[in-house]
Amino acid sequence: MAATIRDVAHAAGVSQSTVSRALSMPELVNPATRARVMSAARKLGYQPNRAARGLITGRTGNLGLIVPDLANPFFSTILKGMQMAARAADYSVFVADTDEDASAEVELLRALAKQVDGIVLCSPRSVDVGLADLGTDTPVVLINRHVDNRPSVTFDSADGMRQAVEHLAALGHRRIAYVAGPRTSWSNGERERGLRQTATATRSDIVHLGYFPPFFDGGVAAADLAVASGATAVIAYNDVVALGLLSRLGARGVAVPGQLSVMGCDDIGMSAMTHPALTTVSAPTHEAGRATVALLLQLLDGEADTTALHRELPTQLIVRATTGVVPAPDHRPAEVTR
């Protein structure tokens, strides 16, 4: 049986309160007794029972993360970032995978709420309704999605698309196809917004190929439309979709980037591992995980209002040495005068 605070108190010849204090508020106890307590604790391998502590303090020392799919690198990287930041703050993290099921989400949210001090919710496309009644007791931070004045951490996807289109425009692409993600996805909306704005600014055309599942198969399905669209470059909703494009294009014998340039989005680890590597726009997921923890801790310390706490992370165009993006066929770069 594990040692309790009683055992330590006995061994050190003091009361439980003294042990408790020696551990949590060391400055309030005599250095000599403290030393005795510490040594006893170490000898017995004492580890405080966090559940018991939480029962009285009202703090569990746990954070929760709810994601649609842990096998998706986008989410597992968020988890990783969150995990690291949580550990640094001496918090543990619970994780729950809804398996893309929005109803499971609500259920998990409710179940987790009792066991954690705060929840990070990654809910790219669930209805807003479900979000309304929650967060009253346990603070909830949204990630990759912004809703009214709920705390959230998002990526500046619109700016990412600006960078992407400007990059393509600089290479002479004027007709750019976009493989959209789910219609109800918040981040897809942001991307389309960025796309439209920059298209106007650069006088390029965006051909919207339609809404596709944000998976490999989505890209496979969209590839032929991309070819038929007459665009010289395609931007995919995310990297995995871009890989799907690449696969189908390869199978059809359409050379990338020779006949068609392809860009992804999110910069998941794998995007650097293909050959040619994927040109993409980074979404700092790891950083986002850390940021949610920071936000949550602020909320818990009462340092901030529960509403209107929002952090937007910058995105960054990633162009690799070997890449799936080249100048448009008819592109003639500006002449250099010396």
Partner DNA sequence: ATGAAAGCGCTAACAT
Partner DNA sequence: ATGTTAGCGCTTTCAT
Q: 1 vs 334, which CB is nearer to DNA? A: 1
**Environment class of residue 177 by beta-carbon count within 10 Å: exposed (0-12), middle (13-18) or buried (19+)?**
buried
Site for a copy of itself in 47-76 (CB under 8 A): 47-52, 54-55, 60, 62, 69-71, 73, 76
Residues 6+ away with beta carbon under 8 Å from 103: none
Tokens 């952090």 map to which residue? Answer: 311
Q: Which residue has the tokens 């000599």?
A: 32
- When the beta carbons of 49 and 322 are compared against DNA, the nearer one is 49
Name which of DNA, a copy of itself, none residue 334 binds, using a CB cut-off of 5 to 8 Å depending on partner kind.
none
Encoded tokens for 192? 């389309």
**3-state class of 163 per DSSP?**
helix
Site string for a copy of itself, 216-245 (x = CB under 8 A): x-----------------------x--xx-
Single residue of 4, 20, 92, 202 touching a copy of itself by CB under 8 A: 92
- The residue range among 33-41, 94-102, 191-199, 323-331 that interacts with a copy of itself, by the rule CB under 8 A, is 94-102
* Distances in whole angstroms, Cα of residue 154 to Cα of each of 26, 40, 98, 101, 288: 40, 47, 20, 22, 8
Which residue has 């510490």 as its token pair? 38
Q: Nearer to a copy of itself by C-beta: 7 or 166?
A: 7
Closest approach of Cβ 58 to a copy of itself, in Å? Answer: 10
Q: Which residues are CB-contacts of 90 (< 8 A; sequence separation ≥ 6)?
A: 61
Q: Which helix (H) or strand (E) holds 309?
A: none
Pairing of strands 205-211, 175-180: parallel
Minimum CB separation from a copy of itself for residue 276, in Å? 8
Residue 83 touching a copy of itself (CB under 8 A)? yes
- Given DNA, a copy of itself, none, residue 322, with its beta carbon under 5 to 8 Å by kind, binds a copy of itself
What phi and psi values does residue 165 have, to the nearest 5 degrees?
-65, -40
What minimum distance in Å lies between the beta carbon of 194 and a copy of itself? 26
Angstrom distance (rounded) from CA 259 to CA 325: 10
Q: Summarize as ranges the residues that interact with DNA (CB under 7 A).
A: 1, 4-6, 13-18, 20-21, 23-24, 28-30, 32-34, 46, 48-49, 52-53, 55-57
Partner whose binding site includes residue 207, from a copy of itself, DNA, none (CB under 5 to 8 Å by kind):
none
Distance CA 157, CA 215 (A): 18
Residue 69 binds which entry of DNA, a copy of itself, none, with Cβ cut-offs from 5 to 8 Å by kind?
a copy of itself
How many residues touch a copy of itself under the rule CB under 8 A: the total is 56
Where helices occur in 171-268 by DSSP H, the ranges are: 186-202, 216-228, 239-252
Return the half-sphere exposure (C-beta side, CA atoms, 13 A cut-off) of residue 283: 28
Q: What is the binding site for a copy of itself (CB under 8 A)?
A: 1-2, 47-52, 54-55, 60, 62, 69-71, 73, 76-77, 79-80, 83-84, 87, 92-97, 99, 108, 110-115, 137, 216, 240, 243-244, 246-247, 250-251, 269-270, 272-277, 286, 322
